[in-house]
Structure 1
Amino acid sequence: MNLSHKVLRQFILIAIILTIHVIHVHSQTIIPVETADNAVVLQAGVNGDVSCVYLGKKLRSVTEYGQITGVNRQADDYTGLYNSAYTSSGSRNLLEPAITVTHADGNNSLDLKYVSHEVKKISDDVSLLTILLKDPVYDFEVTLCYRSYFRENVIEQWSRIIHHEKGAVTLQKFASANINLQGNSYWLRQYHGDWAREMQPEEIQLSHGIKTLDSKLGTRANLFMPSVFMVSLDRPATEDEGGVLYGALEWSGNFRTDLEVDPQNDLRIISGVNNYASPYSLRSGELFETPAFLYTYSAHGKGFASRNLQSWARNHKLLDGKGTRLTLLNNWESTYFDFNESRLKELLQDTKRLGVDLFLLDDGWFGNRYPRNDDHAGLGDWQENRKKLPNGIAAIAREAQANQVKFGIWIEPEMVNPKSELYARHPDWVVKQPQRPEYYFRNQLVLDLSNSQVQDFVFQVVDSLFIKDPALAYIKWDCNAVIYNAYSVKLKNNQSQFYVDYVLGLYKVLQRIRAKYPDVPMMLCSGGGGRVDYGALQYFTEYWPSDNTDPLERIFIQWEYSYFYPAIASSNHVTDWGRQPLKFRVDVAMMGKLGFDIVVSKLNEQDLKFCQNALKTYNEIKPVIWQGDQYRLANPTEGSVASMLYVNADKDKAVMFNYLVNSRYGEGSRRPVKLKGLEPGANYRLKEINFYPGTNPLVDGRVYSGDFLMSLGFNPDVNTNRTSVVIQLELVR
């Protein structure tokens, strides 16, 4: 064989080796996304389809992820797309899509193929995986984004959509995430509600077909159905056992989550902005980025999943999640709309006497031509009412400073009353159909935040408050109406973009506020829990769970919120709602960010003394409540006692709240409550705290091992005479 033949043979051999290598990579490009305990495994096949082949407990060996598909013996997947990582429509897909488009030429087909992927290390805890997908026929691409939080076992997933076609493309559906679970059965825990009945749980077994969770309210989108949910595998998970996935969309408007049990008995979860009445026109070269869908998986029950999510929120998402919070006195239930400067000065003295940090002036302080004396007028006219506040907000702020307390204020800047100067001046700023009768929610309408002029106006509402009081220390941001008769004068012929552009406009305003006032605490309020999501909470320090402040009801409401949100974000006020004694009301409010909405001047001497002492106690234990691990010990829906435990990171301090939730004869804590999260080999001293003056605590200095408390438990002696008992645990050194 001459030299030329040898060279040719070697060339052919090298080419074959290279070809085999490329085929091998393309046939099984394994892309694992790992956290401390879990993994999501993606796989790009020989034809470029990207699939989600696994979501669950992390394997010890990364190399074994490549063997996952080989152990399944399921029914035929006629499409090869059942477990697609981002299912497109119009080609060979037969199931619910994550994305549907109409191309510039009118064609509705889309087929997304793997091009490349990249992993970036953002920090010790955070990594970002991006996977580029392209259509081989149309100049259209989607980038799948997976931001993983290693220590917290949380993943945020979203998509970036762009095209370079000759003309606009219409996005008919544009989900954030498309994930897949494998199990023998699936149990969905979802929530429903209404005003004062937030976070009502329901749990069902999913059957074949599609279960959809969604909202079409525009604003206050969580009023009837929150976007949070959990799915248990094989059986309903308990606090400490079972596989369970928590999901939530970081979006403050219309959402949609489809849960589809497919022909292979796998569960497909597709979540994102609701495409209801919202086809979105995308110009050539324009980037559309969906909001993040977050999820965490636990192989050890609901408690582990919620602690992961709470830790993630404090460390990464909630504004100032590792910081402090202000206790406050709110005037709403003391005065409602009926107050003046003299009355507010009295309340400021009560604020100091009570011992809280801040006085919050609620609704009713504004409007002159149409004074805000009830909820029928004045909303939108953000000048001080001269009759109520002749010397303006600045005078109240100075009085607060003289009483050594901070000052905060209520606003609802997204809304307008038809009976207002703003409505008369700018009817084109109001969301309403031009030829249809107006329809009101709480006697008001919504301003069009898709309009940049309205965005400027809302920003200036906030900015002007700081001009009047540079030391303004707190803002309660309310949102009490949903959107009827959706229409934007500004959008003209692009009305289908309104629901999306409204929320994007809201976020633009909040970003401007936070750029100028990064540290001012703000409460996210929406007639209660109508707008509680992590898309908004990145701009707020806390949220208002419900206007229902009956402490017995609040135990149930706050319990359900605790699965998804940390205690530091839950704004809980002591009010006169309910029949429970003052101590019970204060104890329930302590399980979060404490506030008061009571008439301090009407408290008797003992009640006032108790509240003052309770605030001192709260200041001592709040670091454990705000930053500690939360353990739900006794579920109020399953017995007569509710019990919640908070344990700090060092496991040397803990606080246990216990309540009687059944008033029938003889009910109480008949059996001990088993604690969790303690050091088994350590000893803990138990002490009853926050007891009412003149009563004798039953628990004072008893010492138990962590092993005893977690194995046998402790009985807090809750009964009809002791309806609320708080126990402090401290490590014996």
Structure 2
Amino acid sequence: MMILKKSAVAILLFCSVSAYAQNDKQIIVQTRHVSLVLTIGKSGRVYQSYFGKRLLNTADYAQLNSTKHEAYITGGMEDQFEPAIKVTHADGNPSLELKYINTISSHSGDDATETVINLKDPKYPVEVALHYQAFDKEDVIKAWTEIKHDEKTPLLLTNYASAMLHFDAKKYWLTHYHGDWAWEMKMQEDELTTGNKIIDSKLGTRADMYEAPLFMLALNKQADETNGEVVAGSLAWTGNFQFQFEMDEHNSLRVISGINPVASEYHLDAGKTFTTPAFIFTYSNQGKGQASRNLHKWAREYGITDGTKPRMTLLNNWENTGFKFDENELVALFDDATKLGVDLFLLDDGWFANKYPRDNDKAGLGDWEENKAKLPHKVEYLVKQAETKGIKFGIWLEPEMVNPKSELYEKHPDWILKLPNRDENYQRNQLVLDLTNPKVQDYVYSIVDNMMTNNPGIAYIKWDCNRTMSNTYSPYLKDKQSQVYVDYTLGLYHVLDKVRAKYPHLLMMLCSGGGGRTEYGALKYFTEFWPSDNTDPLERVFIQWGYSNFFPSITISAHVTQWSKTASIKYRTDVAMMGRLGYDINVKKMSDAEVQFSKQAIKNYNRLNNVIWYGDLYRLISPYDEDRAVLMYVNDTKSKAVLFNYFLNVRYKAQFNTVKLQGLDPQKNYKVEETNMMDGIKSNFNDSGKVYSGDYLMTVGLNLSAGKILPQTSNVIEITQQ
């Protein structure tokens, strides 16, 4: 990001995808279908005049000159509601006023335009730059803020939001996502009332373990998948976040998104620039489904590593062996991987440490050398053995953590976040390393770099993080403890920047004891994430459904496991196929029929995954509304689609209506054919092999529930243009 000089001259840029200044009175940030209009008032302050559907006539924007809502409200002045920014100056003055200097707009690639609005306090040498990057084809806007000053002593930042949005609607409905370990991403929708609704996290590392940094806001009335005005937003920050939804006495709503200001006062040195994380948002007047598709398209192009490139299927050893394995057992498991037909074998926790061997979760974390008893020939041998079997090799790491029972803990007690003069507080028998410390950052980077340097054949890393921050104190920060949560996250990003600079295309899973880090701040360094440790397919239908509101399927790791004692291998597989398919299962305990089904399912997945990964998602029937879930992916040319139908715990003699499909071309004809069938099991889908017009499928629909419906059964239906 560029730092703007005070003397910069506003650049006026007029084009269909641009954001531009109009007579220095109005600034328009717009995409193909969305506009955000900002007005410079007579006072010199900048106001939000409009946010919503893009107007057909550019001249009509001149009528949007409202100065009711300041775009980035400051604290300590006349506004008595929540500010976007609040500071304390060296002389103790707790106020800030921001007046317009200029606007600079530039193209960033073929699809995006970045607009920077420069503001300055007329009395103090404090400057704020509001950044808006508009992605035309995706209808997504990315907003962030830069703060700098030239005061003699550090400026104390108390609040420093990434963005502020204003709305004037009759009613507001907020959908947020919450849960716990193995119970992630439960959707809850509430009508907002007068006052302040806060969605936030104070957990530090696993920042969204309970509340996810994501929301959907419906305006005027509740929205569904295809109808209603919806704003979907996500904060790209792997630390503590906060969303504030404050409705005033006039029914106006301000939404403030950014780093959680609680326990995060920041001392900004003169001449330095503080850059907030990005707030990524979109608008749809066609319901929640279109908002999701906007974010998915943006994410594949800009939000994740190599989002338009293929992923690999894999077999993980964790639920098979746990910590108890040796070199020979692992090599034998490679045969199971080739038997199934997956691309990669992933070695999970338990392969490292010697003085305090990693035989359970109580020791060894931090000592990243191969355990000599388990791996006498080191990881290098496993990589070569995997290659001889025709598969790739991946490995598990948890670089940010340490067990007290480790050599690292003994050698560097000053590298650990823990309160002085207090007992240590453990989660999973471990503590968090102090990533505010540059030496610790170098050490964490070296874990990955040494592993890849010694074993360049490694094709995949699972990066885990199994605890939150508690009893937190940084020996490195000393008298600036209020910065620990922010500087930790910035330290993590510094490490990941170095990793990606050297290994730009290495496949990496973002894991955090399940869905503890599901946001685009970290995901830009990773190729996928682990949604939950709960892999029961019935639970996963709900968990993956929730994540699908914001993340494309290519990012959602979904494994076939043995968690469920009741679901068939078909049901477990069908549920996993709606994401990035993998296995964490004891293949030797599978029946011949289950193995044969799985081999064919992987072939089917490899044949269909281009549609699943890169297609547009249409959520047709929500598991929150019925005892089933139905969704489909459609490719760009509307020539191919894949539909997933999952029955949940349906009641006796349950009956369901036909399902109207979406996203097809009404003028085309399509063959509907069930795939992923298990030998000897009769399907409840009677239309397999028939041809229908797209118009018929979207207007009349398909009967997916003929005959007797059994709990936890499913269909995968391939839809192909004829």
Q: Is the 8 A contact 2:649 2:712 kept in 1?
A: no
Counterpart among 587, 602, 614 of residue 615 in structure 1: 602
Answer yes or no: is the 8 Å Cα contact 1:644–1:656 preserved in 2: yes
5 Å matches for 1:250-649?
250-578=236-564, 579-649=566-636
Which segments of 5 or more consecutive residues in structure 2 lack a partner in the other structure? 1-20
Q: Does the residue aligned with 2:309 lie in a helix, a strand or coil? A: coil
Shift of 1:223: 0.2
Kindly provide the amino acid, as one letter, of the partner of residue 584 in structure 1: Y
Measure how far apart 1:28 and its partner are.
7.6
User: How far apart in 2 are the matches of 1:167 and 1:150?
Assistant: 42
Separation of aligned partners in 2, 1:276 and 1:715: 52
1:152–1:308 contact (8 Å) kept in structure 2: yes
What do the CA deviations read for 1:332-361 (whole angstroms, capped 9, x no partner)?
000000101111011011111111000000
SS of aligned partner of 1:63? helix
- Partner SS state of residue 433, structure 1: coil
Q: Which letter maps to 1:35?
A: T
The answer on whether the counterparts of 2:531 and 2:543 sit within 8 Å (CA) in structure 1 is: yes
Is this contact kept in 2: 1:363–1:411, CA < 8 A?
yes
Q: CA deviation at 1:125?
A: 1.1
Give me the whole-angstrom Cα distance separating, in 2, the residues matched to 1:679 and 1:320: 29
* Matched positions, count: 697
1:65 matched to which residue of 2? 61
- Taking the aligned partners of 2:711 and 2:444, their CA distance within structure 1 comes to 51
Instruction: State whether structure 2 residue 109 is matched by structure 1 residue 123.
Output: yes
For residue 317 of structure 1, report the CA deviation from its aligned partner: 1.3
- For the 8 Å contact 2:648–2:711, the answer to whether it is kept is no
Taking the aligned partners of 1:253 and 1:456, their CA distance within structure 2 comes to: 20
Note the C-alpha offset of 1:237. 0.4
Q: Is the 8 A contact 1:683 1:731 kept in 2?
A: yes
1:700 & 1:116 partners in 2: Cα distance?
Answer: 62
Equivalent residue number for residue 209 of structure 1: 195
1:17-56 superposed matches below 5 A = 29-56=25-52
Q: Match of 1:7?
A: none
Counterpart amino acid of 1:269?
Answer: V
Distance 2:585 2:116 in 1: 52
Query: Residues of 2 paired with 1:274 and 1:99: CA distance?
Result: 12
Are the aligned partners of 2:415 and 2:475 in contact in 1 as well (CA < 8 Å)? yes
1:680 partner amino acid: P
Q: Is the 8 A contact 1:101 1:109 kept in 2?
A: yes
Cα pair 2:571 2:712 within 8 Å, conserved: no
Q: What is residue 16 of structure 1 aligned with on the other side?
A: none
Q: Say whether residues 1:730 and 2:716 are aligned partners.
A: no
Amino acid at match of 1:225: E
Deviations 1:630-683 (A, max 9, x none): 000111111122111000000000000001112321225x32111000000111
Q: Residue deviations 1:224-261, cap 9 Å, x none?
A: 10010011001110100000100110000000111111
Output one character per residue of 1:282-306: Cα deviation in whole Å (capped at 9) or x when no partner. 1111111101001100001000100
Q: Distance in 1 between matches of 2:176 and 2:22?
A: 39
Contact 2:646 2:714 in 1 (8 A): yes
* Alpha-carbon contact 1:663-1:720 (below 8 Å) kept: yes
Pick which of 59-68 and 285-294 moved more. Answer: 59-68
SS at match of 2:641: strand
How far residue 192 of structure 1 moved from its aligned partner, in angstroms, is 1.2
Distance, in Å, in 1 between the alignment partners of 2:206 and 2:682 is 46
Q: Deviations over 1:597-638 (max 9, x none)?
A: 000111111110000000100000000000000000111111
Alpha-carbon deviations, 1:148-206, whole Å to 9, x = none?
00111100101000001122111111110011112111011111110001001111111
Contact between 1:328 and 1:356, CA under 8 Å: does it hold in 2?
A: yes
* Counterpart amino acid of residue 307 in structure 1: R
Q: Distance in 2 between matches of 1:608 and 1:518?
A: 35
Give secondary structure in 2 for the equivalent of 1:619.
helix
Shift of 1:696: 5.2
CA apart distance, 1:26: 10
Instruction: Provide the rounded CA distance (Å) in 2 between the counterparts of 1:599 and 1:166.
Output: 64
**Per-residue Cα deviation, 1:355-400 (whole angstroms, up to 9, x for no partner):** 1000000000011111111111110011111111111111111111
Q: Distance in 2 between matches of 1:695 and 1:702?
A: 20
1:88-117, Cα deviation, whole Å (9 max, x unpaired) = 011212110010111122111110001111
1:708 corresponds to 2:696: yes
Q: Does the aligned pair in 2 maintain the 1:685–1:701 contact within 8 Å?
A: yes
The verdict on how the C-alpha distance between 1:190 and 1:392 changes in structure 2, with shifts beyond 3 A counting, is same
Which AA in structure 2 matches 1:342? Answer: N
SS at match of 1:229: strand
CA contact (8 A) 1:28 1:45 kept: no
| Partner residue, 1:657 | 644
Q: Is the 8 A contact 2:672 2:687 kept in 1?
A: yes
Counterparts of 2:60 and 2:203 in 1: how far apart (Å)?
A: 46
Moved more, 592-601 or 632-641: 632-641
Decide whether the 8 Å contact of 1:84 with 1:178 is kept in 2. Answer: no
Is residue 538–residue 712 contact of structure 2 (8 Å, CA) maintained in 1? no
The whole-number CA distance in structure 2 between the counterparts of 1:28 and 1:168 is 33
**Once superposed, what is the RMSD of the aligned Cα atoms?**
1.4
Tell me the SS of whatever aligns to 2:212: coil
- Native 8 Å contact 1:27 1:45 kept in 2: no
Structure 2 residue aligned with 1:17? none
Q: Output the amino acid matched with 2:271.
A: G
* Corresponding residue SS for 2:462: strand
**Partner-residue secondary structure (3-state), 1:473:** strand
Q: Distance in 1 between matches of 2:82 and 2:712?
A: 54
Q: Is 1:478–1:525's contact at 8 Å kept on the other side of the alignment?
A: yes
Q: Structure 2: how far apart are the matches of 1:562 and 1:293? A: 18
- Mapped to 1, the partners of 2:40 and 2:688 lie a distance apart of 62
Q: Which moved more, 1:687-696 or 1:343-352?
A: 687-696
Q: What is the aligned partner in structure 1 of residue 3 from structure 2?
A: none
Deviation at 1:500, TM superposition (A): 0.5
Q: CA deviation at 1:721?
A: 7.8
Q: Does the aligned pair in 2 maintain the 1:27–1:44 contact within 8 Å?
A: no
Give the Cα separation in 1 of the matches to 2:168 and 2:695. Answer: 36
Could you tell me which amino acid in structure 2 is paired with residue 397 of structure 1?
V
Q: Distance in 1 between matches of 2:301 and 2:518?
A: 18
**Aligned pairs (5 A) from 1:172-251:** 172-251=158-237
The CA deviation at 1:702 is 0.1
In structure 2, distance between residues paired with 1:139 and 1:642: 56
Report the secondary structure of 2:60's partner residue: helix
> In 2, Cα distance between the equivalents of 1:91 and 1:237?
36
- How far residue 695 of structure 1 moved from its aligned partner, in angstroms, is 3.6
CA distance in structure 1 between the partners assigned to 2:382 and 2:712 by the alignment? 41
Kept in 1: contact 2:126–2:148 (CA 8 A): yes
Structure 1 runs not aligned, ≥5 long: 1-24, 71-79
SS at match of 1:700: coil
Q: What residue identity is the alignment partner of 2:252?
A: D
Is 1:151 the equivalent of 2:137? yes
Question: What percent identity do the matched residue pairs reach?
Answer: 51
